[in-house]
Chains A and B, each alone.
Chain A
Amino acid sequence: MSFTALSPEIVSRDGTSMVLSMGPQHPSTHGVLQIMLEIEGESIVKAEPEIGYLHTGIEKNCENQFWTTAQTNVERMDYLAPSSNALCYALGVERLLGITNDIPRRAQQIRVLNAELTRIASHCVWLGTGGLDLGALSVFFYTFDLRENILDMQEAAGGARMHPNYIRVGGVNGDLPEGYLERLDALIEKFPGRMRDLRALVQANPILQDRMVDVGILSPEEAVQWSVTGPSLRASGVAYDVRRAFPYSGYEEYDFDLPTRDEGDSYARFLVRLDEMEESMRIIRQVRERLEPGPVVIDDAKIVPPPKETIALSMEALIHHFKIMTEGFRVPPGDVYQSVEGPRGELGFYIVSDGGNHPYRIRTRPASMYNLQALKGMAPGNLIADLVVMIGSMDPVFGEVDR
C-alpha cells in the first residue's frame, strides 16, 4: 500500500530502468488503483498493482449483521452491478435454508430480468469510461443515457438508483411497480438503435482499433492460470459461463449465445462485451414475453415479512413482521458455495452458517480482483499508454476488488 511495502526487486534499480508510481489518483485507473511500474523508457519491465485503498471491511461487517441486513452491505461491493451481488447472496442463503425449489416462478423471472438489466448498465459504464480512457468522449454520453433508463427502472422497483436492494432472500421485494413494464418496453424498443449507434461510433473506429488490437493478449492457458473469468475469459476463447455451466434462477430456459473470440486481446474483450449486451437484451425480451402473474415471494412468514397491508389486520402477521425485523431469521448450519455470472465474471459467495441469525462467514470470490491480477502477466513488454487500455479492458470495480 505504500512505497516501503513494495517488494524489494521492484524498487531496486540497475541503472537502465526506473520505478514509476501510477495512481492511486490516476484518472484512468477506474477508482483507486496504484501500479508500481518498473520501466525502461516507455516500455514496462514489471508491473505490481497495489490494491486496498478502498478496503471497507464489508465481509467483517456482514458477520455482525442479520442475514437480511447483510445483503445491503453485499450489494455495495460491486456497485455497478448491485443486482448480481444481491442475487448471488440470496441464492446462497436460500440453498442453506433449503428453499431453492420453492421460489415462485415470477420471482425467478424478475430476478433474471434485473440481473440482465444490471449487466447492460454495468457494461454501459465500462464502455463509456473505457472510451474516456482512449479519448473518445462522446461514447460516454450515449452509454450513460442508456444506463440512466435502467437506473430509473431500478429506482422504480427498489427505491434507489444505485443500490435498489430489490432481490431478497425468498424472492423479490414487492411486485414490479406500475409503469415498469411500459418503461421496459420502451427500453427494448430503444436498445437496438442505440447499439447500432454505439457500434458505428466505436467498433469500426480506426483510432480505437489502433489502440486496442494486439494489446494485452491473454492466451487461454494464461487466462485459466490467472483465474480470469467472464467476458475476459471468453475473449480468450474459453466458453465458460456460470449461466450455462451451473444454471440458476431458470437460466436454462432462455435461449442465448455465449459470444467468444479467439484473439484474446483488448479489442476481443471489447467486442465480446458489446455482443454480450445484445445477448442480455435477448434474454430480457424472452423474460418480457414469458412473464407470468403470480406471487413474488415464497409463502413462509418465518423468512419473508408479511405484506404491509396485513399487519394492521392480523395479529399473527404483526408478530412475524416484528420477529423478522428485530431478530431476523435463523439459517441451518452448514456451508455453501454459490456463484453467478456477474458482468465481470464468476461472482461467488462462500457462506458459512452456525445456525444463528447472523452469517458466520461470507467469503466473496471477487471476479474483478482475479481479473486485475492478470495485469501482472499482461503488462510486461508493453507501453505505459497501453497499460491504460489493458486496465480498461479488464473492467475492474474497486468496490469489489478491495471490499
Chain B
Amino acid sequence: MPSTQSPPLLGAAIDPTALRPAIDDAAIERVDRAQLHARLAQLKDQGYSMLLDLGAADYPAREPRFDVVYHLLKMPLRKTGVEQVGKPARLRVLCAAGEDEPLPTATDLWLSADWAEREIFDLFGIRFEGHPDLRRIQMPHDWEGHPLRKDYPLRGPARERSPRPAFALKSNVNAGTPPSGKTLEALSEQIARRAAERGPGNGERNA
C-alpha cells in the first residue's frame, strides 16, 4: 500500500476543517461568533436535542486563536426504540473565539453545557457570557494560567522554576509564577541567566 508518510504542513492545524472536510460522518459547520447562539437555538429546534460534547482547541498562530467545537446529536426527547433512533445525525459546529472575545453561553439551551463550558474556561481561558457559575472546575480555584494553551509549559510554571516543588503547596501563586503567556519569556530568561552564570569557558566546551 502507499505510504501514509507526508511531510508536516506549516501551520496546518490552523483550520483543520478547511483541509479535510469529508473525514467524518458528521456534517461540519463553521459559525461566526455573533450568530452562534441564534444558530445553536435554531439547530436545537430542528431536533438536535443532545449536546454530545463541547471542547476547544488552541491555534496560537491564528487570530482569534481558539476554536470552540460543539458536537450535536439529533435525538428524540421521548422514549424511543432501536429502530426509531436508527442512525441519528451528528453535527459539528466550530466557532472561533479569542482571549478577550467571550462566547455566548449554551447553558440556556442544554443543561449539560454547564461543566463543559467551565472546563473550557478553566483550561483555555475562554469566557462564556451568561454562564450562571463560571469558575474553575479541574484546576485549584486559585490557579493562575490556563494549562491547555499551547504556550503553557508541560510541567507547569511552578515546577519549571524550581526543580523540587513543595508538594504541600496547592497553588502555584506563591511560587512567583508568571501568568500564562509570559511563561516562555520567563523560561528563556532563566536559560540565558544560567548560561551567563556558567561562564564562557563551559559554553565553549558544550559548543
Contacts and interface: CB of A to CB of B under 8 A. Distances in A.
B125 interface: no
Contacts of A236: 79
A interface, size bucket: 35 or more
Interface in A252-309: 258, 260, 262, 298-300, 302-303
B12 A354 contact: yes
Interface stretch (B35-43, B111-119, B177-185, B186-194): B111-119
Please provide the 8 A-B residue pairs with the shortest distance between their CB atoms, ordered closest to farther: A354-B13, A237-B79, A334-B20, A5-B141, A363-B55, A227-B112, A355-B8, A335-B16
Contacts, number: 187
- Chain B interface, DSSP helix/strand/loop, else mixed: loop
A126 to B, nearest CB: 22
Interface string B3-46: 11111110111001101100111100000000000000000000
B75 interface: yes
A352 B16 contact: yes
Interface stretch (B80-88, B96-104, B196-204): B80-88
A333 B12 contact: yes
Interface string A218-232: 001100111100000
A227 B136 CA distance: 21
A55 B50 CA distance: 26
Interface stretch (A11-19, A79-87, A93-101, A174-182): A93-101
Contacts of A220: 77-80
A333 B75 contact: no
Contacts of B84: 239
7 contacts: A238-B78, A330-B6, A337-B24, A337-B71, A337-B92, A360-B13, A361-B58
B75 A224 contact: yes
Given A221-B77, A225-B112, A365 B147 contact: no
B57 A352 contact: yes
B57 A363 contact: yes
